[in-house]
Structure 1
Amino acid sequence: MKRVLTAGLALTGVLGLAACGAAGGSDNQLTVVEWGGQDQKTHVKAGVEPWGKEQGVTIKQDSPTDYAKFRAQVESGKVSWDVVEVEPNFARTACDKGWAVKLDKSVVDTSTLNPEEVSDCAIPVLEYAFTIGYNTKKFPNAHPTTWAEFFDTKKFPGKRGFWKYATGAIFEAALLADGVKPADLYPLDIDRAFKKLDTIKDDIVFYETGEQQQQLVASGEAPLVQAWNGRIYAAAKEGQPVANEWNQHLLSYDNLVIPKGARNAENAQKWMDWYIKHPEAQAAYTNATAYGPITKDALDHVKPDVLAELPTSPDNAPKRAAIIDYSYWAEHYDEVSERLNEWAAQ
């Protein structure tokens, strides 16, 4: 997943959490589940533990997010998780299927959030962008500034890195490159997108993790990648020859949901409301990761050098092509994923 730094490893201190999943009321804890690694530790320290200390609530963690485990906990009635970071298409599916708790908007005030990122069961936890990431040594003077140029292998030679994931904006990028206007992107013309992808198939390198993405572009193996802005920012801070191109970026976000049957659902909603109303907590996480906060007020607390690398900054926001429509993906994810995997294997 996009921000996992220690993929697949549960955080310490979570042994025995399954025993907390028995039916019953709150145990005055909050078990937070995200994608894992240093990113999760940073977010929990900045954005969850201060609330826990204020309220006298014990904060526990588990990782990584696992949709099959989420569903299995709910359907078995043995829920050990309280609030979970998920992709928005899963948030919508979980809400529709009754696997997630519908939020009480009298408790969770969502009025300051982007309404496109809020649903009956979910609020955003962060914002990020799919950008054109490029190797600054390979392209010291001119680099692609549009998706059409990204697909132009004659003008800008080299391999292209894409995330092998249907909701990874590969189809949105292909359609923009083929001349589709941003306002007309959805519903996606998948046939047309594949035709455009066919034109550079021999030059495509797929990655599956953020680390692979960084290595591809920094090494020059794929000097152009469809990037997660925070990964390019992190690599650049480490001295790697990489940068984000912000023109035509595609805005995305992750959601927070509460599994149905969570022992501490009330605490989860109270924390959600606190997080929305504490921009400095959002900004503390942003300053460490370059993943954007969920309210505009939080931008006032972000360091200038980090602000320049956020999709919602005053300079970058006007360059956005579109926001990913996860309502579309909630409906079409399975069928398009199967087709993408078959196409990539051919």
Structure 2
Amino acid sequence: MNLTRRALLAAASTLALTALPAAAQEPPKPRQIVINASGGAQAASLRASYWADFEKETGIKVVDTSPVDFGKLRAMVDSGNIAWNISEIGGQDGFRVTQMGLAEPIDAKIVDRSTFVPAAKEMTHVFSPSSYSTVIAYRTDAFPKGGPKNWADFWDVKKFPGPRSLRNHPVDNLEAALMADGVAKDKLYPLDVDRAFKKLDEIHRHISVWWTTGQQPAQMLIDKEVVLATGWNGRFYGLILEKAPLAIEWEGGVLKQSSWVVPKGAKDQYWSMKLLAMMTDPKRQAENAMKLGYSGTNTLSEQYVTADKKPHLPLEPGNLAKQIWLDQEWWTKNGQAMAERWNKWMLSKQ
């Protein structure tokens, strides 16, 4: 009888433990989670849309640092001295960080990406809650009959005269050059590099400024330093909503995902995954999208975006149909060689 009673008590104890709420079975909470991010307006929006609620719900402080630094991330992982729990990386670096073993796999049991766009749920070690695009932007008062409609128009300095700006980087520019030369969007990859640089030769002397920081294109357009520029769509978003004389063209836009990783060997990985899980929420993604102009990658988020904001977001169906996704795998394999060739090309033009 006593043995039976003890067995029953043991069974009851086991059932009680399995019935405990998830929080009771979670690992100890750290005092803080450190996130390395881009800073500025993006960090402010991320805090308002996600991080502040995470702090309230968990009691864990979210500390953000900047700027994003791939080299520093690699050095941390290599040394085992990892100061970040989560780090943002460049949109083209997803395959590279995975191949180099610098990131932990995203825990699918915690982070549900089942309703994300395909490009954002295929990466095993990279979390992508939003998407942005490199687009053509222009001053509407410089082109009262209508601005450029594609990359061929951007290259057409007679039809669309005036000072222009391109990024001082091969990413996006090689794709743009090939589209300007008539390559169909679905035939871009693998990139015909020789053809791209030949097309870039045509426009080099017409580029007034080769920009290096994200805020430059919009500022140059506002200051009338240039009338045409490429840039990340979110940099023009707020200005266009405020009725500045700017417009963007989505045709041939080069889409990328914002990319976040949990560094390999980082502490408190469970809580990092919980924070990423909060960033899957469609309503929160919509809130962030309406602040920054970068679409949420959860397909359910679009329904929460107000009608006046939808036309300005890259993953709005009409805009999405005009664009391409950057081939991260191609750039992972060829990025270093392209950077070296780009630098030599720029030097040859001096």
TM-score relative to the length of structure 1: 0.87
User: Which residues of 2 match residues 50-69 of structure 1 at below 5 A?
Assistant: 50-69=53-72
Tell me the SS of whatever aligns to 1:137.
helix
Aligned position for 1:107: 110
Aligned position for 1:297: 300
Is the 1:88–1:254 contact (alpha carbons within 8 Å) kept by the matching residues of 2?
A: yes
- The answer on 1:185 being equivalent to 2:188 is yes
- The answer on 1:138 being equivalent to 2:151 is no
Aligned position for 1:273: 277
Amino acid at match of 1:39: Q
Aligned position for 1:22: none
Aligned position for 2:12: none
Aligned position for 2:35: 32
Cα offsets for 1:44-91 (capped at 9, x unmatched): 221222123212322111111111111111112111101111124323
Tell me the SS of whatever aligns to 1:149.
helix
Q: 1:244 to 1:283 in 2, by over 3 A?
A: same
Question: Which residue of 210, 223, 230 corresponds with 1:226?
Answer: 230
- The answer on 1:288 being equivalent to 2:270 is no
Report the alpha carbon displacement of residue 133 of structure 1 after superposing the two structures with TM.
Answer: 0.5
Aligned position for 1:328: 330
Is the 1:52–1:59 contact (alpha carbons within 8 Å) kept by the matching residues of 2?
A: yes
CA RMSD of aligned residues (A): 1.8
Aligned position for 1:90: 93
Amino acid at match of 1:33: N
How far, CA to CA, are the matches of 2:137 and 2:217 in structure 1?
9
How far, CA to CA, are the matches of 2:119 and 2:240 in structure 1?
31
User: Which residues of 2 match residues 93-242 of structure 1 at below 5 A?
Assistant: 93-117=96-120, 118-167=122-171, 169-204=172-207, 205-242=209-246
Report the alpha carbon displacement of residue 216 of structure 1 after superposing the two structures with TM.
Answer: 2.2
Cα offsets for 1:230-254 (capped at 9, x unmatched): 1112233455321111223222222
Is the 2:117–2:299 contact (alpha carbons within 8 Å) kept by the matching residues of 1?
A: no
How far, CA to CA, are the matches of 2:143 and 2:80 in structure 1?
54
Cα offsets for 1:298-333 (capped at 9, x unmatched): 11111222211001113322222x111111111111
How far, CA to CA, are the matches of 1:38 and 1:229 in structure 2?
14
Aligned residues: 320
Cα offsets for 1:276-317 (capped at 9, x unmatched): 1x1111111111111111112111111222211001113322
Is the 2:30–2:60 contact (alpha carbons within 8 Å) kept by the matching residues of 1?
A: no
Is the 1:31–1:82 contact (alpha carbons within 8 Å) kept by the matching residues of 2?
A: yes
Amino acid at match of 2:115: T
With 234-243 and 120-129 compared, the bigger mean Cα shift is at 234-243
How far, CA to CA, are the matches of 1:266 and 1:214 in structure 2?
39
- Structure 1, unmatched stretches of 5+, are 1-24
Sequence identity percentage: 33
How far, CA to CA, are the matches of 2:228 and 2:85 in structure 1?
39
Aligned position for 2:344: 342
Is the 1:28–1:264 contact (alpha carbons within 8 Å) kept by the matching residues of 2?
A: no
User: Which residues of 2 match residues 43-54 of structure 1 at below 5 A?
Assistant: 43-54=46-57
Tell me the SS of whatever aligns to 2:249.
strand
How far, CA to CA, are the matches of 1:311 and 1:46 in structure 2?
19
Amino acid at match of 2:240: A
With 139-148 and 300-309 compared, the bigger mean Cα shift is at 300-309
Is the 1:28–1:267 contact (alpha carbons within 8 Å) kept by the matching residues of 2?
A: no
How far, CA to CA, are the matches of 1:246 and 1:271 in structure 2?
32
Report the alpha carbon displacement of residue 127 of structure 1 after superposing the two structures with TM.
Answer: 0.6
Structure in which a larger fraction of residues adopt helix: 2
Tell me the SS of whatever aligns to 1:89.
coil
Tell me the SS of whatever aligns to 1:60.
strand
- Structure 2, unmatched stretches of 5+, are 1-27
How far, CA to CA, are the matches of 2:264 and 2:254 in structure 1?
31
Report the alpha carbon displacement of residue 26 of structure 1 after superposing the two structures with TM.
Answer: 6.2
Report the alpha carbon displacement of residue 28 of structure 1 after superposing the two structures with TM.
Answer: 4.8
Tell me the SS of whatever aligns to 1:134.
strand
Tell me the SS of whatever aligns to 1:39.
helix
Aligned position for 2:317: 314
Aligned position for 2:23: none
